[in-house]
Structure 1
Amino acid sequence: MSIEFSKPLTATETPIPGVVLFDLPVHGDNRGWFKENWQREKMLAVALPDFKPVQNNVSFNEKAGTTRGIHAEPWDKFISVATGKIFGAWVDLRQGPTFGNVFTATLDASQAIFIPRGVGNAFQTLEDNTAYTYLVNDHWSADAQGQYTFLNLADETAAIQWPIPLSQAELSDKDKAHPRLSQVIPMPPRMTLVLGANGQLGKALREAYKDDLSVEFAGRAEFDLDSKEAFASRNWKNYDTLINAAAYTAVDAAETAYGRRAAWQTNVAGVARLAQLAVEHDLTLVHVSSDYVFDGTEETHTEEEPFSPLGVYGQTKAAGDAVVSVVPKHYIVRASWVIGDGKNFVTTMAGLAADGVKPTVVNDQVGRLTFAQDIATTIRHLLKVTPAYGTYNLSNSGASQSWAEIAAEVYALVGASATDVSGASTEEYFRGKPAAPRPRKSTLDLAKLRGTGYDPVPARHRLGSLLKSDVQK
């Protein structure tokens, strides 16, 4: 076998998304040759996904013309030739616009190819005593065979030009019986699971993903973060993303003995189990944070500001953020002053205006509203664009305001007088009432998020839309 020595490590994209062909550096002399068949650090630098292989298999074929496939498996594979030469054929059998795309190549020991889950692969040996090896990122099991997708080697649509005609090749009876492309049921994508799907953010996520069948929603009844049993209730190999919209958010109740335990249980212990799950199964974990992780002494909070929570709720959110940050693939979306479907500050103020009430509202806490629909849109944007993993601040755009200024704006928008709203300091407003400490300055810096190509909608625009729709109900 003639092998080209000392080629640089290079990666070539193919017509099938995610399928990458590699040229491997092979070093040899009169004694033979040596190659780094799989070198994680170098290959990550030239487009190999960090797919975390757990099993190494070798297929030996005694005779040229041995042909295997076309099999699409529910895991990723990194395939290379150990000895001999093969003709490889790959067909995209995944659900989506590239279903049926074909790529073929001849591989010797100086090449390798990465095949993502759901792409059918087939090999025909071109020399006697050919062996190829493949790394996979899941353990083979008899149960997994039920998740395979197959295509007939002789499918007319794929029209693969086999170097050795199939009539002269060595095939198994099973491979001969596989369906044509028109009869193949495409392999569905891995699922996204939204937790806390019945809350304000959960409802917004339901709306954002209403047309995406790969997104599954679970309320507390279907998946309770506080239940260890819930974490054993699913086959996590079928998922690639977790969106955690579940949280304990009763800021004042968190200061009580019962609330303190409940907040730590959900916001920290439950999140820690999610983080462990994400690490074990290589999932992307999306988690929603809060401006309450800060003490509010800075005029504007960046993602790099150290945690300085004032109360129990903020402490549990900061602890949850710290846990999520160790997950290799994570997005923390830190939001302030969330407004979602159902009872919230805006609808409460609108109701008071309709009733002719002249409320007193806190005027020394300053920040920006974040509408739940924009949190959902931001999450979808991050998962689609996949910028660097980490924390991203989010609020709606516009000038920072106090709660009293927002209330006055609501009054004006619904036709009442803005002067009906009077202001009071936090100390005055909560005097004699059990209340958690609150950050006085909650304005979040949005530069990092804008750098991903997402520009938040102005808060005034969302405020007007919400009040208009509320009136129409």
Structure 2
Amino acid sequence: MSIEFSKQLSARETPIPGVVLYELPVYGDNRGWFKENWQREKMVALGLPDFKPVQNNISFNEKAGTTRGIHAEPWDKFISVATGKIFGAWVDLRQGPSFGAVFTAELDPSQAIFIPRGVGNAFQTLEDNTAYTYLVNDHWSADAQGQYTFLNLADETAAIDWPIPLEEAELSDKDKAHPRLADVRPMGPRKTLVVGANGQLGKALRKLYEGDASVEFAGRAEFDLGSPEAIAEKNWKNYSTIINAAAYTAVDTAETPEGRQAAWQTNVTAVARLARTAIEHDLTLVHVSSDYVFDGTAKTHTEDEAPTPLSVYGQTKAAGDAVVSVVPRHYIVRTSWVIGEGNNFVRTMANLAARGVRPAVVNDQIGRLTFTSDIADGIRHLLETGAPYGTYNLTNDGEPKSWAEIAADVFELSGASRSDVSGISTYEYFKGKDAATRPLHSILSLHKIQAAGFHPPVGESRLADYLG
């Protein structure tokens, strides 16, 4: 066998999305050869997913013509040849538009290939004493066998041109019995789990992902964030993403002894459990943050501003953000003045307008509304585009306004008079009341999420739509 020595490490895309062929440097002399079969730092820099392998397997094949596959397994694989030579064949058996796509290549020890979960893998040895080796990022288990997808090596649709005809090759009886492509059960994607799915944001996410079987929704009854058992009982191998739409948001009640405990339990302790789960199972964690992590001193808040919370609620949200930030694959979506399905400021003002009430509304807190449908759209955009992980501000766009100005807008849109709304300072409004301290400036910079390709709609148009 002739091996090309001292090639540059390089990557080549294939017709199957996510399948990448690598040229590996092999160094040889009169004694033999050496190669770095897996070098995480170099290969990740080249674009290989940091797929965190946990098991290394070797298949030794005594005779040329030994043929194995086509097996699609519920984990990722990094395949190479230790000695000898193979003809490799890969067929996309994942649910989606590339189902049935085929790629073939001959591999010697100077090549390797990355095969994502759900892509059918097969090889035929071209030399005696060939050793085929692969790294996988999950441990084999009997439960996992039920998730395998198979394709017959002789499938006419894939039409793989085997160098050694299958009737002359060594095949197992099981491989001979696998179904044709028309009868294959495609492997579905890993799921996204939305927790807190019955709240304002959860309902918007339900509407956005309606009909998408890969997104699973769980309210407290289905998944209690306060229960360690709920985490332990979940088979996280079937998931890729957690969207945490759950939060304790009773800002004033959080200042009481009972509320403080509940706020820390939901916004920090439960979030820490999700973060640990995401790290252990290499999941993406999406977490929703708040303008209350800031004291409102800055006129506009950027993503890299240090937290300076004024209230217990703000402290718990800042602590939750810090916990989530250690997850390698995380999105912290920071928002403000959230409006969705259910009771909220806009609905309250619309009801007051309908009843002829003339309210006094705070006029020195400045910010932007954020409609839950746009938060949901922004989250989907970050996930689908693979935006860089980190923190993103996400509110509606437009000129910042005070609560009093927004109330006046609601009154006008509801057919009442703007002048029915009068302004009052935060100090005067809360004077003598047990209330949390609010930031006066809640304006969040949108530059980062706009640079990532998501442009939140202007809040005024969303408000008009919301009120019908």
Instruction: Please indicate, yes or no, whether the TM-score normalized by the shorter chain is above 0.5.
Output: yes
The reply to whether residue 161 of structure 1 matches residue 161 of structure 2 is: yes
The reply to whether residue 46 of structure 1 matches residue 61 of structure 2 is: no
Aligned equivalents of 1:274, 1:326: Cα separation in 2: 12
Q: State the match for 1:344 in structure 2.
A: 344
Q: State the match for 2:390 in structure 1.
A: 390
TM-superposed CA distance for 1:211, in Å, is 2.9
- Provide the secondary structure at the position in 1 that maps to 2:11: strand
TM-superposed CA distance for 1:167, in Å, is 0.4
Q: State the match for 1:183 in structure 2.
A: 183
Aligned equivalents of 2:158, 2:285: Cα separation in 1: 37
Q: State the match for 1:137 in structure 2.
A: 137
1:54 alignment partner AA: V
The reply to whether residue 89 of structure 1 matches residue 89 of structure 2 is: yes
Q: State the match for 1:418 in structure 2.
A: 418
- Provide the secondary structure at the position in 1 that maps to 2:146: helix
- Provide the secondary structure at the position in 2 that maps to 1:216: strand
Q: State the match for 1:471 in structure 2.
A: none
Q: State the match for 2:2 in structure 1.
A: 2
- Provide the secondary structure at the position in 1 that maps to 2:326: coil
Aligned equivalents of 2:99, 2:409: Cα separation in 1: 52
Q: State the match for 2:312 in structure 1.
A: 312
The reply to whether residue 329 of structure 1 matches residue 329 of structure 2 is: yes
Q: State the match for 1:15 in structure 2.
A: 15
Within 5 Å, give how 1:120-269 maps onto structure 2: 120-269=120-269
Greater displacement, 408-417 / 79-88: 408-417
- Provide the secondary structure at the position in 1 that maps to 2:3: coil
Instruction: Kindly tell me the number of residue pairs found equivalent between the two proteins.
Output: 468
Aligned equivalents of 2:180, 2:111: Cα separation in 1: 30
Deviations 1:422-451, CA, capped at 9 Å, x for gaps: 011111111121100000000000000000
Aligned equivalents of 1:394, 1:190: Cα separation in 2: 26
Q: State the match for 2:354 in structure 1.
A: 354
Aligned equivalents of 1:354, 1:205: Cα separation in 2: 30
Q: State the match for 1:447 in structure 2.
A: 447
TM-superposed CA distance for 1:292, in Å, is 0.1
The reply to whether residue 99 of structure 1 matches residue 80 of structure 2 is: no
Aligned equivalents of 1:346, 1:142: Cα separation in 2: 53
- Provide the secondary structure at the position in 1 that maps to 2:159: coil
Q: TM-score, normalised by structure 2?
A: 0.99
1:331 alignment partner AA: Y
TM-superposed CA distance for 1:233, in Å, is 2.3
1:391 alignment partner AA: T
Deviations 1:256-309, CA, capped at 9 Å, x for gaps: 000000000010000000000000000000000000000000000000100000
Aligned equivalents of 1:438, 1:143: Cα separation in 2: 51
- Runs of 4+ in structure 1 deviating by more than 2 angstroms, as ranges, are none
Aligned equivalents of 1:47, 1:467: Cα separation in 2: 47
1:415 alignment partner AA: G
Q: State the match for 2:365 in structure 1.
A: 365
Aligned equivalents of 2:191, 2:233: Cα separation in 1: 15
Greater displacement, 424-433 / 373-382: 424-433
Q: State the match for 1:274 in structure 2.
A: 274
Q: State the match for 2:73 in structure 1.
A: 73
Q: TM-score, normalised by structure 1?
A: 0.98
Greater displacement, 228-237 / 155-164: 228-237
Aligned equivalents of 2:168, 2:466: Cα separation in 1: 69
Deviations 1:186-225, CA, capped at 9 Å, x for gaps: 0010000000000000000001111321000000111111
Aligned equivalents of 1:3, 1:448: Cα separation in 2: 48
Aligned equivalents of 2:388, 2:167: Cα separation in 1: 50
Aligned equivalents of 1:238, 1:431: Cα separation in 2: 52
TM-superposed CA distance for 1:372, in Å, is 0.6
Query: What is the identity percentage for the equivalent residue pairs of Structure 1 and Structure 2?
Result: 77
Aligned equivalents of 1:415, 1:303: Cα separation in 2: 38
Aligned equivalents of 1:453, 1:140: Cα separation in 2: 39
| Structure 2 gap segments, 5+ residues each | none
Aligned equivalents of 2:290, 2:192: Cα separation in 1: 23
Cα RMSD of the aligned pairs, angstroms, is: 0.6
Q: State the match for 2:303 in structure 1.
A: 303
- Provide the secondary structure at the position in 1 that maps to 2:95: coil
TM-superposed CA distance for 1:60, in Å, is 0.2
Aligned equivalents of 2:348, 2:109: Cα separation in 1: 69
| Structure 1 gap segments, 5+ residues each | 469-473
The reply to whether residue 380 of structure 1 matches residue 402 of structure 2 is: no
Aligned equivalents of 2:250, 2:360: Cα separation in 1: 22
Within 5 Å, give how 1:451-462 maps onto structure 2: 451-462=451-462
TM-superposed CA distance for 1:179, in Å, is 0.4
Aligned equivalents of 2:149, 2:234: Cα separation in 1: 21
Aligned equivalents of 2:146, 2:294: Cα separation in 1: 50
1:203 alignment partner AA: K
2:257 alignment partner AA: A
Aligned equivalents of 1:5, 1:128: Cα separation in 2: 22
TM-superposed CA distance for 1:142, in Å, is 1.9
1:235 alignment partner AA: N
- Provide the secondary structure at the position in 2 that maps to 1:112: strand
Q: State the match for 2:28 in structure 1.
A: 28
Deviations 1:150-191, CA, capped at 9 Å, x for gaps: 000000000000000000000000000000000000001000
TM-superposed CA distance for 1:368, in Å, is 0.4
- Provide the secondary structure at the position in 1 that maps to 2:423: strand
Q: State the match for 1:401 in structure 2.
A: 401
- Provide the secondary structure at the position in 2 that maps to 1:88: strand
- Provide the secondary structure at the position in 2 that maps to 1:147: coil
